[in-house]
Amino acid sequence: MIKQWLHTLFVAPTNNTLLQLFRYGFVGGVAFVVDYGSLYVLTEFLSVPYLWSAAIAFILGLVTNYLLSISWVFKKNATMQRWQEFLFFAIIGVIGLGFNELIMYVGTDMLHLHYMLSKLISTVIVFFWNFFARKYLLFNKRGD
């Protein structure tokens, strides 16, 4: 029983939104480590201005998220070629990047929060934008 449950949770292909959200949380966690870690390294050790660091780190996280999402969370879109799928995934991500930059700017420059705290707030908001936009705009119509 537990083995079947774990298989369903982690391995079996699914279109169940709650299972996909759970998996996307794991994927998002890995992408977050890449994004957040890159932001910190670029800003603190390489002296890149935080908004530039945030953009570069976001793109690194986006690529990580895409690669893990297509292999584990969402099935390939049956109506698109892989490059088209990535293009739409990236467009949704660029909109998320816009949200990220806006939240980072407002949090850091206007509210005087530490840039890493602004990033945490941004991450939560952009996580949900990315998941639901990708699920319902990109991966909703698919062949099983």
Note whether residue 41 is domain-resident.
yes
pLDDT tens column, 47-106: 999 999 998 998 899 889 888 888 877 766 667 787 888 888 889 888 988 998 899 999
Indicate the number of domains in the chain: 1
Query: Domain range holding 118?
Result: 24-138
| Separate counts of helices (H) and strands (E) for the chain | 5, 0
Token pair of 67 as six digits: 């690669």
> For residue 105, with 0-12 CB atoms within 10 Å meaning exposed, 13-18 middle and 19 or more buried, which class applies?
middle
What global pTM score does this model have? 0.71
Note whether residue 17 is domain-resident.
no
pLDDT tens column, 11-27: 888 888 888 888 888 88
Report the alpha-carbon distance of residue 24 to residue 64 in Å, rounded. Answer: 12
Torsional class of 28: left (φ above 0), alpha (ψ -120 to 50), beta (otherwise)? alpha
Note whether residue 1 is domain-resident.
no
User: C-alpha angle with apex 11: 5 to 17, nearest 5 degrees?
Assistant: 80
